Amino acid sequence: MDIKKRNINRNQKHILVTDGERNFLHSMEFILESAGYKVSATDDGQEAIEMIMEAKKRQPFDLLITDITMKGLTGLALLDRLKELNICMPTFVLTSYGDKNLLVKLLRRGCCEYLEKPVDETDLIKRVRSLLINNKTKKRRDV
């Protein structure tokens, strides 16, 4: 089990990062935490589902950032499983294996944002902020 949790402000946006490359996963944790986000991380897609289900009981994740290739479940299977469980959350996919077919598959599964690795730190934070702001606005309209 490779879970990393930070005990920080409850108003802080909570992001789950899943990636099969441990070095990249740790870099993402550092980048996002430095930008002021609470971060939980795993390198296993199945464990990500378990973490999402557990977090629903306390403080749900505000954003999922996932890779396509990892152990447990692939990123595509993870998105499918979330849909089966009727869990709706903004999803950002980062991958080294991008092509048009993959992008179409991701969009059909409800992916909100897509970025190819290597990731530009400034662009990543800008896109994360935008997703979180747009989701907050959408939630207000849905009420």
Tens-level pLDDT at each residue, the chain (143 residues): 444 444 445 579 999 999 999 999 999 999 999 999 999 999 999 999 999 999 998 889 999 999 998 988 999 999 999 999 999 999 999 988 777 888 888 888 889 898 989 999 999 999 999 999 987 545 533 32
The per-residue pLDDT for 10 is 56
Q: Please indicate, yes or no, if residue 103 is contained in any of the structural domains.
A: yes
Is residue 48, in this structure, part of any structural domain at all?
A: yes
CA distance 26 to 78: 20
Token pair 């190819």: residue: 116
Within-domain flag for 74? yes
Number of domains in the chain: 1
Does 7 reside within a domain?
no
pLDDT of residue 136: 57
> Could you tell me if residue 2 is inside a domain?
no
Q: Is residue 69 part of a domain?
A: yes
4 part of a folded domain: no
Is the distance from CB of 19 to CB of 70 less than 8 angstroms?
A: yes
Q: State the pTM of this model.
A: 0.86
Give domain status of residue 8, yes or no: no
Q: Which pLDDT score, from 0 to 100, does residue 99 have? A: 79
Q: What is the pLDDT of residue 11?
A: 75
Write out the residue range of the structural domain in which residue 115 sits. 14-142
Q: In this structure, are residues 63 and 131 in contact, taking their beta carbons and an 8 Å threshold?
A: yes
Read off the CATH number of the domain in which 113 is found: 3.40.50.2300
How far apart are the C-alpha atoms of 46 and 43, rounded to whole Å?
9
Question: Coil, strand, or helix at residue 143?
Answer: coil
